[in-house]
Structure 1
Amino acid sequence: MVDQAAHQLFSYGTLQLPEVQLDRFGRLLEGRSDALPGFRLTYVTITDPEVIAASGTDRHPLVIASSQDGDAVEGSVFAITDAELAAADDYEVDDYARTEVVLRSGAKAWAYLAATAQDSAAS
């Protein structure tokens, strides 16, 4: 399946958990460490029972933009297929928006960022 990988996905949260990967993708993903500069971690309370069941918690990390020099969110980059990207989209609740980011390594990847960042910018 990895031979068909078409996307790079940066995860800083529950998509790194083996139980979530098995539930969503039917396999364990092999990742490499990287970081998302210019962001910091916060947390959101999830209410979707399917997501809570897969992750084992209703408290999920969420990244938001940071104005502090040197802030970065550590995580893992996974090579995934189109179908796995769709499964990740299905897993993530409305608090998250899939966005293309540039990581510390210079690699481009998809990441799920705070959806409210755009909402609050429009307010």
Structure 2
Amino acid sequence: MKDEATEQLFSYGTLQLPAVQVATFGRLLDGHPDRLPGYRLEQLAIRDAAVVATSGKTHHPIVSPSATPGDGVDGAVFAITPAELAHADAYEVDDYRRDRVVLASGVRAWAYVDARHAPRDVTKD
């Protein structure tokens, strides 16, 4: 699997849970800690019964851009395949948008962010 893993996915929420990983990807992911600078963590009420059943949670964390210096969100970055990224897209509800981000480590990764906010241009980072 590792040879096929060409995408980096940053998770700060339920995609870190073993039960969600097995249900979404069919395996446990191997990740390492990282941080998403320039964002703040909020809670989102989940109305999709299948997502609630998978995660066991009615509220999931969601990140929004922050203008407050020093804000950031801790999480983990996982190497996954393009097919697994499509499975993650299917798991996330419409309140999330997958954006390309730059993590504190310098790794460029995908992250699911609050879809109500405009995308950031990471090419400037």
Shorter-chain TM-score range: over 0.9
Alignment partner, residue 11 of structure 1 = 11
Matches for 1:1-123 after TM superposition, within 5 Å: 1-118=1-118
CA distance in 2, matches of 1:6, 1:46: 29
CA distance in 2, matches of 1:66, 1:87: 28
Alignment partner, residue 122 of structure 2 = none
CA distance in 2, matches of 1:112, 1:2: 22
Stretches of 4+ aligned residues off by more than 6 angstroms? none
By how many angstroms is 1:60 displaced?
Answer: 0.2
Residue 82 of structure 1 aligns to which amino acid in structure 2? P
Query: How much is the aligned-residue C-alpha RMSD, in angstroms?
Result: 1.1
**Could you state the TM-score of these two structures normalised by the residue count of structure 1?**
0.94
Alignment partner, residue 123 of structure 2 = none
* SS of residue in 1 equivalent to 2:109: strand
* SS of residue in 1 equivalent to 2:24: helix
Q: State percent identity of aligned pairs.
A: 59
* SS of residue in 2 equivalent to 1:84: helix
Structure 1 unaligned blocks of 5 or more: none
CA distance in 1, matches of 2:30, 2:65: 27
CA distance in 1, matches of 2:49, 2:114: 20
The number of aligned residues is 119
By how many angstroms is 1:118 displaced?
Answer: 2.8
Structure 2 unaligned blocks of 5 or more: 120-125
* SS of residue in 1 equivalent to 2:47: coil
